[in-house]
Amino acid sequence: MKIVAARLHRVRLPLVHEFRTSSHGKSMLDHILVELIDASGAVGWGEIASPSDPYYAPETVESCWHIAERYLVPAILGKDWNRPEDLAQLWAKVRGNQFAKSGFDTAGWVLWATTAGVPLADALGGTRTEVVAGVSLGIEPSIDALLTEVERHLAAGYPRVKLKIAPGWDVEPVRAVRAAHPDLDLHVDANGIYTEAQSDQLKALDEFNLTMIEQPFAPRDLLAHANLQREIATPICLDESVETVEDLETALSLKALRVLNIKVSRMGGLTPARAAHDRAHSAGIPVWCGGMHEFGIGRAANVALSSLQGFSLPSDVSASAKYYTQDVITPPVTATQGAVRVPTAAGLGHEVDTAFIAQNAVATIELTS
């Protein structure tokens, strides 16, 4: 296959409900949609779901646009390739910048699966026909407001709830949610905000029967995670710490995790995300697919990835409607009683709504070979 043209669309959508984590708060999001066109005219779409600020990872929407326009598009235009796994070779000289790469890797997979006439999930080797969705709830203005949010999502059928925590918003909200829902599959995510000196606050969470504590410490501080894991029964899950399969290998040998959150964006695409799944699965580590508030294109890719066997825990693949009133794909991703059906149509399995994208684009460029 040969990419002859690429378009980047920076699309802005308002969020249904403001989302706040230990590191940032947002009421609208700009994601970059990557449209790759091959010599036969076939199209593959991908999504760069970088937050606008460098608070989750070092990348921003602007850095992604720059890397995409200046390095990634030129690396692939006019080059021959056979399988989506081959694409990464073309941009191998570009270090890091996983969010930017992820949009291109995903677009390559979608283009390949579309051309081959197979669903994206099948192309990846997925076997599940349906994936279980969990919700991620941000830091709320009060415990009552949080309890209301939990109720609302349980009523919608989601079987797992993850709560964002931060110093000052940890033991008390968790105690309140656990008291109201003794059997709920509940976990917390600190987005790396605690220091090892604050470990006592995290140990205090051990009594609430949480499914996991996600990324308590800074991304590079694998030793702190290993130290805490030795002292608590609750499994530690890594998110920000694992950007490459080599990071996972290091974390495994340090026993710094018992669960892995795999994000397509954070790892640089479906190819490395699948490799991380394979490695974790062989090490007996359960995985789930994390989200970055993806628009429909990235969301559908997450659903396809979650159809792989090792994704045995609920993934952040809630319905588009949790975040957006209208999505860039039709139909949007929907969940029924907390489960999302894996599409059986070729490629992404959803139509891309190019008119809606054009209406909401704040910048577009086209590059050709």
Contacts to Mg ion from residues 157-196, by CB under 5 A? 189
| Region near ligand OSB per CB under 6 A, out of 66-74, 242-250, 288-296, 342-350 | 288-296
Could you tell me the sign of the dihedral formed by the alpha carbons of 258, 264, 265, 271, in that order?
positive
Interaction between residue 191 and ligand OSB (CB under 6 A): yes
Q: Which is nearer to Mg ion, 13 or 212 (CB)?
A: 212
46 touches 34 (CB < 8 A): yes
Query: Helix H segments across 41-97?
Result: 61-67, 73-76, 87-90
Q: Which is nearer to Mg ion, 189 or 247 (CB)?
A: 189
Contacts to ligand OSB from residues 89-128, by CB under 6 A? none
79 is catalytic: no
Q: Of 164, 203, 255, 322, which one is the catalytic site residue?
A: 164
Residue 292's binding partner out of Mg ion, ligand OSB, none, with CB under 5 to 8 Å set by partner kind: ligand OSB
Q: Which is nearer to Mg ion, 189 or 294 (CB)?
A: 189
Query: Helix H segments across 241-318?
Result: 245-254, 264-267, 270-282, 296-306
Residue 149's binding partner out of ligand OSB, Mg ion, none, with CB under 5 to 8 Å set by partner kind: none
263 is catalytic: yes
Contacts to ligand OSB from residues 311-350, by CB under 6 A? 316, 318
| Region near Mg ion per CB under 5 A, out of 23-31, 170-178, 235-243, 306-314 | 235-243
Nearest to 237 by CA among 249, 254, 225, 220: 225
Distance CA 202, CA 247 (A): 23
Backbone φ and ψ for 96, nearest 5 degrees, come out as 60, -145
Distance CA 332, CA 117 (A): 21
Q: Which is nearer to ligand OSB, 1 or 329 (CB)?
A: 329
CA atoms within a 13 Å half-sphere pointing along the CA-CB vector of 118 = 12
Interaction between residue 239 and Mg ion (CB under 5 A): yes
Interaction between residue 47 and Mg ion (CB under 5 A): no
Contacts to ligand OSB from residues 7-66, by CB under 6 A? 21, 56
| Region near ligand OSB per CB under 6 A, out of 194-202, 246-254, 287-295, 331-339 | 287-295
Nearest to 106 by CA among 274, 321, 242, 287: 274
Backbone φ and ψ for 314, nearest 5 degrees, come out as -60, 140
Question: Shortest distance, CB of residue 32 to ligand OSB, whole angstroms?
Answer: 16
How is 137-204 classified by DSSP, letter by letter? E---SSHHHHHHHHHHHHHTT--EEEEE-BTTBSHHHHHHHHHH-TT-EEEEE-TT-B-GGGHHHHHG
Contacts to ligand OSB from residues 206-245, by CB under 6 A? 239
Interaction between residue 316 and Mg ion (CB under 5 A): no
Q: Which x/- pattern over 241-280 shows residues binding ligand OSB (rule: CB under 6 A)?
A: ----------------------------------------
How many residues at the interface with ligand OSB, by CB under 6 A? 12
Residue 291's binding partner out of Mg ion, ligand OSB, none, with CB under 5 to 8 Å set by partner kind: ligand OSB
Q: Tokens in use for 343?
A: 């599409």
Contacts to Mg ion from residues 192-221, by CB under 5 A? 214
Distance of CA 338 to the CA centre of its chain: 18
**Reduced to 3 states, what is the DSSP secondary structure of residue 83?**
coil
Distance CA 362, CA 9 (A): 8
45 touches 348 (CB < 8 A): yes
Q: Which is nearer to ligand OSB, 114 or 136 (CB)?
A: 136
Question: Shortest distance, CB of residue 59 to ligand OSB, whole angstroms?
Answer: 12
Q: Which is nearer to ligand OSB, 126 or 298 (CB)?
A: 298
| Region near ligand OSB per CB under 6 A, out of 104-112, 223-231, 284-292, 325-333 | 284-292
Nearest to 34 by CA among 366, 369, 304: 366
Interaction between residue 161 and ligand OSB (CB under 6 A): no
Residues marked active site are found at 164, 263
By CB under 6 A, name the binding residues for ligand OSB: 21, 56, 136, 189, 191, 239, 290-293, 316, 318
